[in-house]
Structure 1
Amino acid sequence: MGIVNRRSLHFLDADRLKKRVEYIIKHDATIQSLYRSALSAFFRFAGMFIPVDENMVLFSSFSGKRYDDSPKVLFERMLERDDCADLHFVWAFNRPNDYRLPRTQIVKMHSWAYWRAALSAKFWVTNVNIECGLSFKKKQQVYVNTWHGTGNKSFGNLVPGRNDYDFSTVDVFTVDGVFMADMHHRALNVNYASFVYCGRPREDELYLASQSTRREIRDKLGIPENAFVVLYAPTWRDSLTGGNDYSFEALLDADRVLESLGENALILYRAHSIVTETRGISFSERVVDCSVYPNVNELYIAADLLISDYSSVFADYSILGKPMLCFAFDYEDYVLSRGLTADFRDDITTFYNEEDLYSYLCAFSYREESDKTKRFKAKYISAGGNASDACIDAMFAASKSKHD
């Protein structure tokens, strides 16, 4: 099957060191405070000597890890729009030599070229963070944050011991409904006036997906027409090694899942971008690692069933109205250590042990589970389908308001 090369999810030493430093900063309040105050002051001072370029747009996705998600969609839409013809772009990547993009300067994430671009770009576009926990945005700059999902796991200031996330300077923050807006106001201190109720630009593709789209994608991925495809996409767990790695121990027995669903079943596995290594899954022709596949939407469209846990992929996938199940094998431990912002167990069929899940898969009702997914979407998601243009329009409107 020609889906993607398999990977062990090991990072290079430089990436491991970076994650270790990030872990220390995140978990040590004193170091975190010194980091924020000293570097924020430095960049605010440096910014006094670097003018804002009214036509520059700075992009990053998942802190420079990839060219994907909503920032990619917005960038490609800007290349098409006439009112963006005068804009020029900067993209930040951890491995800048891997990319070539039109009308675009490529810089290395966290290099001086990156920080200079952040100080000079009129527009910032990201799905995570531009300032990397610092605070130096200028009043005339326009900050667009699409975020990357609507989920129920605690994040930001909702995590025990955290009260330092402040996204109050974001000008445009895209959300897919009231649930997401309330959570991000509480977790990230986003102002309600900054929310644009349009969904995430990446998800426009899901709203437009048709049966012909699905057939084309499955053909491209090498999936047989009669295959029943399970997408297993668990979220990440916190590091148990002080930030040296973020491994995931899969308790889902892929062979038992395949046995429960029959000979035409296959599994696509999608690790969270933070996960550095997956253990407990043996990959084969019927169990395929899609963790580095560039477009997760295509995996959603190709799949017949989603299995996840506390991940925001439920919200994405619910747009398609197909069955989804929750395998929460560590529910009590996860709630105690990380916490949840909402209880989805009444909305998504949930299993706490493997045997119950395997038994259910043997004879579950596709229609009943699809109906349950549609009710989930109706409850949590009220906006989406034209987010790209709505977001760009809001970006220009925010810029105009700063000049009025």
Structure 2
Amino acid sequence: MSDQPFELDGISNPAPEGDSPPPAVAPVAVDRAFGQDNRARLLEEYFAPYGTVEPGNAWKHTYRLLLWLDRTTGLAHCYESDKSQAGRPWYARSLAFHDWVSASLDVDPRDLGEHIDVLFRRASADLAAAAANRRARLAESARKQRSIYLGRGMPEPGEDPELEEIVTAVLDPYLVTPPPAEVMRNLTERIQAHVGQENKRKNLVGEGFEDAIAALLRRVTGVPDVHDIYVRPSLHDLPGFRPPRAGSKKRQVDLALVHRVSGYRTLVSCKWSVRSDREEQFASDFSDYAELEDAGKDFSYVLVTNEFDPARLAAACDMRRQNAPLFTDVVHVNPQGVLAAYSDRGSNAKTEGGQARASRRISEKRVQALGSWLGSLATA
């Protein structure tokens, strides 16, 4: 790990320990705040204070970057929101996971949100800064556009009468005077932006997860020394794979590693969660990869995931291709978090069923921890 100090807004700070949270940074106005280039910048900014990454701390970085709070429960998101509402079985499991991850990151459960979701929160801040710049730049033009309608009572930008009514109805008993119209417009605009940004999360935990894992691969001592690391490459750009036939769809891989000495190839499917339709896609993707393999040599197919659904996690472990497992390795960000969720305050999982199957796969090491997998790559 680098011990050099780093600069933040003109202030010199000591470099953090490998498992310490990063410092806050000022937002940068970027129009494509959730795009690939800005994600790369944010990841460089995040990892800059740490230098190299210890494999055992990789899960902490992953959760700090990408884990988020479900806004309907206030708990760390580990399962579908509609099935994790208070009173339903996954609410108890979400409570157990939230308690575990808070303790593991050494933060108060009420403060967890301040220590995670870094990539989304920083991208959102960049987007908000860009929007503010854009509004200021267009203000005079907007004034001229509206000037010909003076006196017509045209709605103001940002007005949302229904939302304003909801807010004032709730707060009215606590207000001495009604808020000015300009204040209400500003509030509704901020609420709308807040809700709108949440819709961008799906893309962030898609390619953002791939980017975060790639960033870790580049920073774990030994891995970049012995492997070439590819992010979202076309399959035929990797050694030993031929292009598809003319007119056929090009095949892309989430991540790939190629050993610099042996040339051994590892194709990585990086999926934060495993939807039911993806289970079929995994087999289809592997079939395409095998068909386009042109060197007559073996390659590994690895799943890296944060899936908590026991049936889906166990199914990923048990999927087969002919007489071998489909996935060479099934890697979870941290299987101990899964077991914490299943424990539900210490109660044992049923001896049969999805939880029992998934728990067995974890105890059998069929589900690897991210840190273990990264460590094995460093010594390969």
Q: TM-score, normalised by structure 1?
A: 0.25
Question: Looking at CA atoms only, which structure, 1 or 2, has the larger radius of gyration?
Answer: 2
Q: Which has the higher contact order (CA 8 A, sep 6+)?
A: 1
Higher helix share: 2
Q: TM-score, normalised by structure 2?
A: 0.26
